[in-house]
Structure 1
């Protein structure tokens, strides 16, 4: 009854911001896809942290709308895949991990570590396999050895050689992107349609 498949929201609206409205929509209809449209590029990260699957800059060309609609179609047909869980171990404890609980994934020699709030969980998958499994707008590979969950990012700052230092909400871990990873991540966040 209260479910919408897709919502296009402006960031700047008279009584409530599009970001606030997106939060409300996600509470009542969590499977709704949200696309933000705005004249301001600086809200891209916040838009994705508020459940956005697209970010369109005004004036919006028709082909960008078509691209984002195709992306929503693809995402809606793969909703069963997004419910898949990741299993791993930390010490003697076995974890079944929901995607939303992942802060980042780190490949370290022969080991792959999934960072959740409670632990570093070792999984028996390669980072490339996890990248395919987590093929959603919220996960991005910022380095050969790192995939980050955009929803868990607290802040980013530029460091030497145009790399990004990324810190996360609720945990003290800080990771550094590669130079190329930082460039493509910035482009990803600034694109008119993701």
Structure 2
């Protein structure tokens, strides 16, 4: 089955090149059923025709590709989005709007074919039951790389100086953000144990007496998967006890 594709780029030459490359893709194959030079033309095409995929440039006159991707995501049955752009610094934004892939110009046939395969796999995954919610992730930039860390793997989030340490069983990441915002967003999954720390509710193993050189006698929580103890403030102690008991 061929993927039905809408190509969105303000440069006619770029659209033509993508059309040629798509014609050479075989597993899966693709048909270009529409082209657009800006967001308005793209939305008009999307209202007229059902597409499986939108190949989308970021820098365009008027609304840019990221804004268009957000509009596409709000559709009742949105097509997959793959960004195609010369500007690699927008990779984080691409992941934040749930793009399936991010291609940099000039696009190579092999890389485009890989992106189509991701779209195909995502389409099959989309056939899951409606109550099976998509996996929540944190977008983390690390040494020039952009990584998607599943929230289900995170054991704790700890504010240190201007950054947040994101800890999984296997490693630590650095995230630029606000602990309060993360607490508000993921209140069902994480609980505050200290002014500078949130822990995954599912990961709590034990509450132990603990002596801290700075804060003296107190309590600390032990999490599944790591040996590190995390201090619990007196203010949060009863909430942690309750979490362990339930």
TM-score, normalised with respect to structure 1? 0.49
Greater CA radius of gyration, 1 or 2? 2
Structure with the larger RCO, 1 or 2 (CA within 8 Å, 6+ apart):
1
